[in-house]
A and B are shown apart, each in its own frame.
Chain A
Amino acid sequence: MRQYEILPHTADGKFRAYGRTLEEAFANAALAMASLMWDWRTIKPEIAHDIRASGRDREQLLVNFLGEIIYLLDTQRFLLAGVDRPRILEEGGVWSLEAVVSGDSLSDRYEIYGGVKAVTYNDLKIEDGDRVTVQVVVDM
């Protein structure tokens, strides 16, 4: 199964990510977003961060989860290489996610070719079925 695909969008970044579970689709969405900025396959998994996100629905959870990756880039110069052990829970109308993200600090050995400014709700979709599909537009 493909992890994700990048879709055409006039000004910004748009992608669709897939997974057998919601967790897997979210993790692949993080890789899709990273692929708009750097080649995550080339990033050495030297550092790990525990991350948490929450939301009032799955869409907000996804926006906030991807927002964590941008936050780590801006504040820790962290380049994502992978998402491990993602767990998503819904309790009393609040969705939450925990995961460990691995990657490395920004340095001259990596080429960073794009910057994602923010994750938007524009055209955001989460579709269930045989597999879970999420679609996201990010502001670049």
Chain B
Amino acid sequence: MRGAPGLGGIHPSQADYFQSVKGGGHGDYRLIVLAPSSVQELIDHTILAFELAETYRTPVVVFGDAMMGQMMEPVLMPEAELPPPNRPWATTGMEGREPNIVHTLYLPADKLEAHCNRLFAKYREIEQKEKRSIKKKWDCRIKRSA
């Protein structure tokens, strides 16, 4: 986050974080936003971000502000063991199946509404299962080497 509207200066600011948490574009979507509060969390959240993105097929923002970028701390480098990705929807070539199409455009209003409702059901599930806060010790589900 930068101070000031428009281009933004080079000073760190925490005035608001709508750019990340409210999404952009034409709306109708949410992002998962992870806000690390230490250098260790910068590393851990980066790994978690990939895990969450794979699980929910949703973009994840690791929201480190300028203060974080200027900190130095000793860290433990975890050896992440992410499960192999399962992406039956991916556009990898249609060998042995029907074509996969990845797009966001639905011209008929009812189809678009149904699509948005599917997305919002997913966002509700994420809200229920994945909320984390600094008060509750963050639970990393990724295996670590000691």
Q: Do A and B form a real pair?
A: no
Interface residues of A (CB under 8 A from B): none
Interface residues of B (CB under 8 A from A): none
